[in-house]
A and B are shown apart, each in its own frame.
Chain A
Amino acid sequence: MLGAGLILFLAALQGATELFPVSSLGHAVVVPPLLHINFNESDPSFVPVLTVLHLGTAGALLILYWREWVAIVRGFVRAALRGRITDPDERLAMMLVVGTIPTAVVGFFFLTPLTSLFGHPRASAAFLIVNAGILLAAEGFRRRDERAHAVRTPGDVRHASGDPSYAGVEGLSLRAALVVGACQIAALFPGISRSGVTMAAGLMAGLRHQEAARFAFLLATPIILAAGLVEVPQLGPRGPGAGLAVGAAALAGVAAYLSARFLLRYLRFGRLDPFAYYCAALGAAGLILLR
């Protein structure tokens, strides 16, 4: 069984990294052995603990976007009954549905084989480097596109907030939403960030940085929530006690809420490159130092 201190450490780590494009699961697997915090990732209580932490993160996302989620749910029901999309809320709801289905289905039927990778920190470290490559490729693509659009920003470090050359989420086609959402499948590999790949895909689909993050967070919410809920019945005696579980979920939720707010503010002008360099460095450290 994992100790209370370790569970709270994982809660803070998971909450802080889940919404950053750096892979929370990759961190949960790679960071503890790097810090010589010894526990077995194959421990039967590890996945139940992560499940509890995911519920905390999903709660944070629901709180962050609760007004939007009310509108989205209403929009979905209206559009589903009418068989026609007539307003932006209905359109966003349908984009989230088509973007979620591929990952939900693949994750549900193939997650178990992939969980065997959870116990291999070096594999996660390698995937962290892949994640860095994805983020850098997306930003490279965007920079080239910005040059093509003659979007000039100081030193080519900051992009323009509200740039009319790029779209908000509502400007995305359903087909593009499907592709962006399907990219979440890559995040079933520990070390590949769910928010990272969806933000990268969003940028390549023509979304502004902040909107790519918003769409990534909205797409992540049902997946994270469902992943947590379906595992709850299996918590049983292998999971943490009720008090510890609630405390860990709350800690993860607060950390996730703060990191999401920070990221949305940062991406008004910032890019994903620093997260890519960080992932590359952590992945390299993992490959070199872990056996």
Chain B
Amino acid sequence: MRANPPLAVALVVLAVVFAGFSVFYFTTKTSLLAGDAAIHYKHAIVFAVLAVLALVAANFARRGTASD
């Protein structure tokens, strides 16, 4: 994969969105994508992990990689 700055930017935006969801689930009682209205720590952790992975992917897209 060659370096793809627009994709990197999109992935950073996605990471920010995921991070926002993570904060939301950590701090707000909600039933969004969850069973009941409560603070959903598992959802928060999952979105935090997705945010980190999106940043990793953005780093790959920014620099490009020889494989695949």
A residues lining the B interface (CB < 8 Å): 80-85, 91, 97, 101, 104-105, 108-109, 112, 173-175, 230
Contact = CB atoms under 8 A, between A and B. Distances in A.
A101 B42 contact: no
A104 B66 CA distance: 27
B53 A84 contact: no
5 contacts: A81-B59, A82-B63, A97-B53, A104-B46, A173-B68
Q: Which of B53, B59, B64, B67 has the most CB of A within 10 A?
A: B67
Contacts of A108: 42, 46
Contacts of A175: 68
Interface string B25-68: 00000000101000000100010001001001001101111111
A74 to B, nearest CB: 15
A171 to B, nearest CB: 11
A-B complex: 6 closest residue pairs judged by Cβ atoms: A83-B59, A83-B63, A80-B56, A174-B68, A85-B67, A83-B60
Interface residues on B, range: 10 to 19
A51 to B, nearest CB: 13
Contacts of A230: 42
A109 B65 contact: no
A83 B53 contact: no
Given A83-B62, A84-B60, A174 B53 contact: no
Given A101-B53, A108-B42, A109-B33, A83 B68 contact: no
B66 to A, nearest CB: 7
Chain A contact residues: over half helix, strand or loop, or mixed?
helix
Contacts of B35: 112
Contacts of A101: 53
Nearest to A77: B56
A207 to B, nearest CB: 17
B53 A85 contact: no
Contacts of A104: 46
A230 B49 CA distance: 14
A85 B66 contact: yes
Contacts of A80: 56, 59
A84 B65 contact: yes
A286 to B, nearest CB: 30
A173 B62 CA distance: 20
Contacts of B46: 104-105, 108
Given A97-B53, A112-B35, A174 B67 contact: yes
Contact of B65 (A81, A83, A97): A83
Contacts of B66: 84-85
Q: Which of B56, B62, B63 has the most CB of A within 10 A?
A: B56
Contacts of A112: 35
Contacts of B63: 82-84
Nearest to B35: A112
A70 to B, nearest CB: 19
Contacts of A105: 46, 50
Nearest to A81: B59
Q: Which of B33, B59, B62 has the most CB of A within 10 A?
A: B59
Nearest to A177: B68
A80 B42 CA distance: 24
A167 B46 CA distance: 33
